[in-house]
Structure 1
Amino acid sequence: TSLPAGRPQVEVEVESMDKAGNFIGWLHIEGLNLSVALVEHALSKVHFTAERSPYYKALLAAEEAAKKKKEKVWSHYEETPVEEVVPVLEEKERTANYKPVFVTEITDDLHFYVQDVETGAQLEKLMENMRAEVGSHPPVEGSYAPRRGDFCIAKFVDGEWYRARVEKVESAAKVHIFYIDYGNKETLPATRLAALPPAFSTRVLPAQATEYKFAFIQVPQDVSTG
């Protein structure tokens, strides 16, 4: 996978990881912290867990500026006098781990999926070989019976086959799948699915889409942007 010309430089700063393997961190676009930008434009609020973040002061400053504009999530905000509380931040050494990635999908709840640039060539080669294999031995339409949790291949709107995982089977006409190398989801008929050839399984190359989420921000439940 190659980055198209003119696309902005994106960096992911990983801060921590939970037991399930989900990463928590920051997304920087051309040096701009996207979490701070979302707060500044009144599209989200600062979560209380941000107190230990190195970007806490920037998040607070962005939120104060957004409150004064009284737009979006702050459209009904009325300032009330409160006693100033100075948070005591624990000083500790923080090691940032930067690595180049391609952002492939962003969800409505501000989770996002990325591909590691270092393994991009391996994915390209696998996809090329897999499509050649499927082209030489086309699957028989309707022969595949999808089951939840199965790895398979799915024909996307561009007519190409991609690796996927079955998330839910409502009927033969409505199968919910997740593209494991890109992070997007789709509902397809079973006729557009086929078994994943063993030579291209996740044992050969693990799923390339890694999920991240923004640290210390909350997505508003009901926002009117009119």
Structure 2
Amino acid sequence: MKYLLLALTVFASQISSAADLGLDPANLKLKVYKLAVSTSALCTNLTTVIDESAPDYMDFLSNPTLGSGLLTNGTYPCIVIEMSDQVKFTPDETSDGGNCSTGVEETLDVCSSGASKLVDGTTTTCASGDNRVAMYLSTTSTSTGGGADAFNPPTTTSDSSNGFNLGSALTVSGTSSAKFVVNGSGKVCDTDDGGCSGSANSCELAPPTFTFVQL
């Protein structure tokens, strides 16, 4: 069966007054090399669905089509996105502290140290600059914040250390399809407030939430 994978990002409407916390992104751009899935929540025996040798950045707020591929019927509680660790976003308004500005694109290096296990099983080292990493999303991972190692697979049930939480598994049945929902609502913050992590005097993006919605 041919299964079309879509991406949809939803976010709340713009708040009425400026703040330093809880801001929305006007866009959220990722460069995706591969997308793989697993029938195991521990992300073993991955099946690659999308493989792009020279991808461009895509704005996940514009409902881009990631690609299509063949998957057998079943439930897939793990999805792995192999991507550039340079994530780009633009705040939808200017923060009180002034570090987040409307229309000014920010680049966030999400894996500047440590290592990441790629879809093919090899390991890459994270460093400053553009690195190819794999982000693991699983229903058994419990973290929805920046404290977990999102670039390596979960190893236990209810793992709070590895991977990010996937709100619901991908289910493939007959001719059904689903949308991959990335919710960045309220995830942009100005670090001058002190209520979010990151370098001083910077505009940061906390991890979005991820889930699948069956159509």
**TM-score tier (shorter):** under 0.3
The structure richer in strand per residue is 2
> What TM-score does the superposition give when structure 1 sets the normalisation length?
0.20
The structure richer in helix per residue is 1
The structure having more radius of gyration, on CA atoms, is 1
